[in-house]
């Protein structure tokens, strides 16, 4: 997740809440009429949701938030990629960092009769309630950025978040060698936060035992990151490296905190703290050019939008995919839950390649 995640407050609600009896009967009848189809399974061979011809009908697009530059960029890409992939997408809906609101947003889109949904889940577990609602209505869903822990989706469009943590570990390990490093973590209710955190921690322990990892659980919240980093630096002024799990929300408060303490030194200067981030937003690129941070892992906002649209159209057309290499430099893997995930490439960006015109962060204002 490239933004603030709020822990789900509705996970204990019944997934059937708000569904009239008549609708449940209709859904059951629909399943019965399919006979040999896998109604409710991870492999659905039913007729395309768009009707005869496939790929027809409106698609709902639900965002997690719009307070992060990453998600602002993704939001800008959505209509462009929908047009290029010939998808009739509704205006995006912003769930404002609220998992409960996101379930309401899904239901609202379903009640409006959408034939497909592209959703960036706020909470890996809570989203299952919305996925269940969509499945009952026979509406395919593509998840972007966050993989659900359970529920039916046609595809997860996401970069390898384990690789994010490992790339950050290797970069800091090669630059710092010994001493204290900090990882400012995302929300551990999100699979993204868990995978980045554990991958970084495990990699350091295995490959760079002379580094001591200090951790700040920040829940994708900029204020939380700033206040906890300030407190940590008071007792640990000898920090040598920082890993920001989401540059979109952690970059500005981290730089401001370091500046306020007289610890914001440029690359090459004595006392410089090595910083690597995640997201690949223009602000991170500028910070690399200025020597304020050293690297970031570019999370592909443009490709998230493009392949979110690509896979929802494919799902509405009834197309299926299997694990393996794709034709767009990525790999489809099967997750432990049985869900398929297209793991898009996310390159490391440093001063050597920060001006690469192919990086999406250099193509937006």
For residue 79, what is the enclosing H or E element? helix 69-84
* Architecture of the domain whose range is 161-298: 3-Layer(aba) Sandwich (3.40)
Say what the pLDDT of residue 37 is: 29
Q: How far apart, in whole angstroms, are the C-alpha atoms of residue 220 and residue 251?
A: 11
CA nearest 315: which of 134, 109, 117, 80?
A: 117
- For residues 68-80, give the mean pLDDT: 96
Could you report the per-residue pLDDT of 269-312, keeping only the tens digit for each?
999 999 999 999 999 999 999 999 999 999 999 999 999 999 99
Which CATH class, in words, describes the domain spanning 21-159+301-341?
Answer: alpha beta
Q: Over pLDDT 90: what percentage of the chain?
A: 82
The crossing angle, in degrees rounded to 10, of helices 301-316 and 69-84 is 40
* DSSP-assigned states of every residue in 180-242: EEEEEE--TTSHHHHHHHHHHHHHHHHH-TTEEEEEEE-TT-HHHHHHHHHHHHHH-TTEEEE
How far are the Cα atoms of 116, 117, 122 from residue 112, in angstroms, in the given order? Answer: 11, 12, 22
Residues facing residue 184 across a β-bridge: 216, 244
Say what the pLDDT of residue 228 is: 98
Say what the pLDDT of residue 1 is: 55
- Six-digit token string for 89: 């997408």
- Six-digit token string for 110: 């379903």
> What pLDDT band is residue 315 in, cutting at 50, 70 and 90?
very high
Q: How far apart, in whole angstroms, are the C-alpha atoms of residue 96 and residue 133?
A: 21
Say what the pLDDT of residue 2 is: 55
Residue 53 has pLDDT above 70, yes or no: no
Q: What dihedral angle (degrees, nearest 10) is formed by the CA atoms of 126, 68, 343, 165?
A: -90
Could you report the per-residue pLDDT of 153-192, keeping only the tens digit for each?
999 999 999 999 999 999 999 999 999 999 999 988 888 9
- Residue span(s) of the chain under CATH 3.40.50.2300 come to 21-159+301-341, 161-298
Could you report the per-residue pLDDT of 107-156, keeping only the tens digit for each?
999 999 999 999 999 999 999 999 999 999 999 999 999 999 999 999 99
Average pLDDT, the chain: 87
For residue 158, what is the enclosing H or E element? strand 155-159
251 touches 287 (CB < 8 A): yes
Q: How far apart, in whole angstroms, are the C-alpha atoms of residue 69 and residue 85?
A: 24
């Amino acid at each position: 997740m490239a933004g603030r995640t709020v822990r789900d407050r509705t996970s204990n609600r019944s997934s059937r809440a708000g569904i009239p009896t008549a609708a449940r009967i209709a859904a059951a009848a629909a399943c019965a009429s399919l006979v040999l189809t896998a109604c409710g399974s991870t492999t659905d061979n039913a007729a395309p949701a768009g009707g005869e011809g496939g790929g027809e009908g409106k698609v709902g697009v639900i965002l997690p938030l719009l307070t992060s530059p990453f998600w602002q960029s993704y939001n800008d890409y959505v209509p462009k990629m929908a047009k290029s992939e010939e998808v009739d997408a509704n205006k995006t809906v912003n769930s404002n960092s609220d998992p409960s609101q996101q379930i309401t947003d899904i239901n609202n889109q379903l009640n409006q009769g959408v034939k497909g949904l592209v959703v960036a889940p706020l909470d890996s577990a809570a989203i299952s309630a919305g996925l269940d609602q969509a499945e009952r209505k026979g509406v395919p869903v593509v998840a972007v950025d966050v993989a659900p822990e359970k529920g039916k989706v046609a595809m997860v469009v996401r970069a390898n978040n384990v690789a994010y943590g490992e790339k950050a570990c290797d970069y800091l390990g090669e630059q710092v060698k010994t001493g204290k490093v900090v990882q400012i973590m995302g929300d551990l209710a999100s699979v993204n936060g868990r995978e980045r955190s554990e991958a970084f921690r495990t990699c350091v322990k295995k490959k760079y035992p002379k580094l001591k990892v200090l951790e700040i659980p920040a829940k994708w919240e900029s204020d939380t990151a700033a206040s906890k980093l300030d407190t940590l630096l008071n007792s640990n002024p000898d920090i040598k490296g920082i890993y920001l799990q989401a540059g979109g929300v952690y970059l500005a408060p981290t730089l401001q905190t370091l500046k306020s303490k007289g610890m914001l030194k440029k690359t090459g200067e004595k006392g410089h703290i090595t910083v690597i981030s995640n997201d690949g937003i223009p602000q991170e690129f500028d910070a690399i050019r200025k020597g304020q941070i050293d690297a970031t892992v570019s999370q592909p906002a443009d490709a998230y939008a493009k392949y979110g649209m690509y896979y929802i159209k494919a799902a509405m057309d009834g197309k299926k995919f299997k694990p393996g290499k794709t034709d767009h430099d990525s790999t489809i893997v099967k997750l432990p839950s049985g869900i398929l995930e297209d793991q898009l490439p996310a390159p490391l960006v440093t001063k050597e390649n920060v001006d690469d015109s192919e990086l999406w962060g250099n193509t937006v204002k």
